[in-house]
Structure 1
Amino acid sequence: MLTVGDKFPQFALTAVKGGPEGLGGPGVSFTDVTSASDAGQWKIVFFWPKDFTFVCPTEIAAFGKLAGEFADRDAVVYGVSTDSEFVHLNWRLHNDDIRDLPIPMLADIKRELSSALGILDKDAGVPLRATFIVDPHGTIQWASVNGLNVGRNPAEVLRVLDALQTDELCPCNWEKGQAALKPQELFSAAA
């Protein structure tokens, strides 16, 4: 699996647009998203195993609820699975939790991005619940992966993004607005 310090792979995928535009139907709802899209911004890229399942919409909806918080931090959020854009659209139309989803749902139907990242479950052949924070230069700054049955915490992803954007030393459970660690102060206090 690619990890911190690795370049995020190049990709070009079809997506269901976020927001009301994504509910317009085929021909209107779809857009192309590439690794060059949203250049110069932080990217949160999270994967789920399959559409029309049980844990996945809880995570997707939670990321959607935080989309404004991520945008305030100059970050875009992309959700990805190996289902097609048509399946994504149908799922949005028929699931109240994600109908108004403000983030795009990317279709990695050839499994190229999932394979390049090394996040396909060996038995099921679907993406694990992987999350990547990618800096504006395309470098992975944080990577996390859960198994197929355990959902992740999007608020923790936001907290880690906040910490990464300080470019300082942030202690355990650090939250935006708290002081970062100052090694020179710690050493002088110990002397």
Structure 2
Amino acid sequence: MLTVGDKFPTFALTAVKGGKEGLGGPGVSFTEITNETDAGKWKIVFFWPKDFTFICPTEIAAFGKLAGEFADRDAVLYGASTDSEFVHLNWRVYNDDIRDLPIPMLADVKRELSTALGILDKEAGVALRATFIVDPDGTIQWASVNGLNVGRNPQEVVRVLDALQTDELCPCNWEKGKDVLNAQALFEKAA
């Protein structure tokens, strides 16, 4: 699996647009998103195993509710699975929790991106619940992977992004607005 310090793979995937644009139907709802889309921004790319399931919409909706918080941090959210853009669109139309999802849903139907990242479940052949924070230079700064049956905490992704953007030493459970560590002061105190 690719991890911290690795370059996020190049990709070009069809996606269902976020917001009301994504509900226009085939030909209107789709767009192509690449690794160059939103250049210069932080990117949060999260994967879920399958559309029309039970845990996935709870996570996707939770990420969607935080889209504004990510935008405030000069970051964009991309959700992805190995289902097609047509399945994504149909799921959005018929699922109240994600109908108004403000973020794009990427279709990794050839499994090229999930394979390049090393996040395919070996038995099911679908993406694990993986989340990547990618810096504006395209380098992975945080990676987290859950199994198929355990949902993740999108608020923790916001917290980690905040910490990464300080470019400082952030202690356990650090939150935005709290003090960061001063290595020099700690060193002098220990001496």
> 1: CA distance between counterparts of 2:50 and 2:91?
11
The DSSP-based 3-state class of the residue aligned with 2:71 is helix
Q: CA deviation at 1:184?
A: 1.2
1:115 and 2:77 matched: no
Q: Which runs of 5+ in 1 are unaligned?
A: none
Report deviation, 1:185. 1.3
State the distance in 1 between where 2:133 and 2:43 align: 6
Q: TM-score, normalised by structure 1?
A: 0.99
- Distance of 1:188 and 1:27 partners within structure 2: 63
| Deviations 1:100-158, CA, capped at 9 Å, x for gaps | 00000000000000000000000000000000000000000000000000000000000
Mark the runs of 5 or more structure 2 residues left unpaired by the alignment. none
| Alpha-carbon offset, residue 190 of structure 1 | 3.4
In the alignment, the residues of structure 2 paired with residue 47 and residue 73 of structure 1 have an alpha-carbon distance, to the nearest angstrom, of: 21
The offset of 1:187, in angstroms, is: 2.4
Corresponding position of 1:178: 178
Distance 2:179 2:74 in 1: 21
Q: Does 1:18 align with 2:12?
A: no
> How many Å separate the matches in 1 of 2:190 and 2:33?
51
Structure 2 counterpart of 1:113, one-letter code: L
Runs of 4+ in 1 over 6 A off after TM superposition: none
* Alignment match, 1:46: 46
Q: Kindly provide the CA deviation profile for residues 137-182 of structure 1, in whole angstroms up to 9, marking residues without a partner as x.
A: 0000000000000000000000000000000000000000011000
Root mean square deviation of aligned Cα: 0.6
Are residue 133 (structure 1) and residue 133 (structure 2) matched? yes
1:160 is paired with a residue whose SS is helix
Note the C-alpha offset of 1:183.
1.1
Q: Percent identity?
A: 85
TM-score by length of 2: 0.99
- Total equivalences in the alignment: 191
Q: 1:27-106 residue pairs with structure 2 within 5 A?
A: 27-106=27-106
For the residues of structure 1 that align with 2:185 and 2:7, how far apart are their CA atoms? Answer: 34
Distance (whole Å) between structure 2 residues aligned to residue 97 and residue 181 of structure 1? 40
